[in-house]
Structure 1
């Protein structure tokens, strides 16, 4: 019965959030309708929504999303080619739980982890 899940993450500044996800990560707007305090973005089958939270303390933000991919090394390299900052503790590596992963922090410290299943 369930079809999909769309995470909703906090953002302090809609323009900065949209620029990061569109210009650096390759997302696009879901709709042509512009909402003042809400942003809907997608890339292929992945959709993420953002709600305005101007009082967000980025040192206390625990927003996290895990995005599965079938081309982890290519995604990682494409972000490096665009000078996207990789999380200091999140460089690409194969984890003991059978996932090859890396992580980014967006401008509001939402953690984005990208992963692909691998055989150990």
Structure 2
């Protein structure tokens, strides 16, 4: 029987996570995240079929999936924030649609949250511990 051994070097092994979500149209995705949510392009926007967007300390990556049916897309990301009220207001200011079931509220699990859908029906939920 093989045994796996692990030797700790007292350093973090996991340092970041960058979710990858499907997109049908790179231009539409770029414009939504840039103009509605305040993200900016990270790296090369010209990379065929792939897009990286960042805001503050997070990145979201997108891969081209032209044939995805948004009604069958279950892509989801939970994004933690330390100023949910200001973030929520900034999205209202850019007329970003809040998910009908995702209005800003304190959830039973102690998070203040709200959600939006991007143009490909990826669900973005923003939360802050209360």
Indicate the TM-score class for this superposition, using the shorter chain for normalisation.
over 0.9
Asked if the contact 2:103/2:114 (under 8 Å) is kept, the reply is yes
Note closer, same or farther for the CA distance 1:22–1:33 as it changes in structure 2 (3 Å cut).
closer
SS in 2 for 1:73: helix
Counterpart among 113, 117, 128 of residue 105 in structure 1:
117
TM-score (structure 1 length as normaliser): 0.96
| Count of residues paired in the alignment | 118
Counterpart among 63, 71, 74 of residue 83 in structure 2:
71
TM-score (structure 2 length as normaliser): 0.89
Counterpart position of 2:70: 58
Counterpart position of 1:22: 34
Note closer, same or farther for the CA distance 1:33–1:22 as it changes in structure 2 (3 Å cut).
closer
Instruction: Flag structure 1 segments of 5+ consecutive residues without an equivalent.
Output: none
Counterpart among 48, 53, 58 of residue 36 in structure 1:
48
The Cα of 1:34 is off from its aligned counterpart by 1.5
State the Cα deviation string for residues 35-94 of structure 1 (Å, max 9, x = none). 120000100111000000000011110000000000001000110011000001100000
